[in-house]
């Protein structure tokens, strides 16, 4: 998804920081929704995800999903799938592409993903 006139400028990944990219258009729309509804919490989530360790330890808000959702596929590659709880209902789900040091956002939004219902 190439940025267009009027869209936010994303900072580049540098050094130890991870690159965050949208895996789906729905994730991009959901991210904008999170930014409007909970800007401070979304900024904290963004910064924490960019600084994550390769072998991330779970916290109450940031953890690997369980069961069938523990992994996800992006571009044909199976990867760990994690969740960041931005608000009580707002979530970001992403897969960890260690090779490219990229977090692919699969879901973002103010509500729980349908897979958890």
pLDDT in tens, 33-56: 999 999 999 999 999 999 988 888
What does DSSP assign to residue 48?
H
CA–CA distance, 73 with 80 (Å, rounded to integer): 9
Q: Quick one: tokens of 79?
A: 């990867």
How open is the CA angle 37-116-56, to the nearest 5 degrees?
75
Q: Is the pLDDT of residue 83 over 90?
A: yes
pLDDT band at 3 (very low <50, low <70, confident <90, very high): low
Write the CA distances from 20 to 26, 52, 67, 68, 115, integer angstroms: 15, 11, 24, 23, 22
CA pseudo-torsion sign 13, 18, 20, 23: positive
Q: State the pLDDT at residue 50.
A: 94
Q: State the pLDDT at residue 44.
A: 95
Q: What is the CATH number of domain 19-116?
A: 3.30.2310.20
CA–CA distance, 33 with 101 (Å, rounded to integer): 25
Domain boundaries, the chain: 19-116
């Amino acid at each position: 998804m190439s940025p267009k006139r009027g869209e936010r400028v994303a900072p580049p990944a540098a050094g130890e920081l991870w690159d965050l990219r949208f895996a789906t258009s729905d994730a991009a729309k959901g991210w904008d929704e999170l930014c409007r509804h909970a800007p401070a919490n979304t900024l904290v989530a963004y910064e924490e995800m960019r600084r994550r360790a390769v072998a991330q330890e779970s916290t109450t808000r940031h953890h690997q999903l369980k069961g069938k959702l523990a992994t996800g596929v992006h571009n044909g590659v199976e990867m760990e799938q994690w969740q960041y709880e931005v608000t009580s209902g707002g979530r970001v789900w992403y897969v960890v592409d260690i090779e490219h040091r990229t977090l692919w956002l699969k879901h973002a939004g103010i509500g729980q993903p349908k897979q958890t219902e």
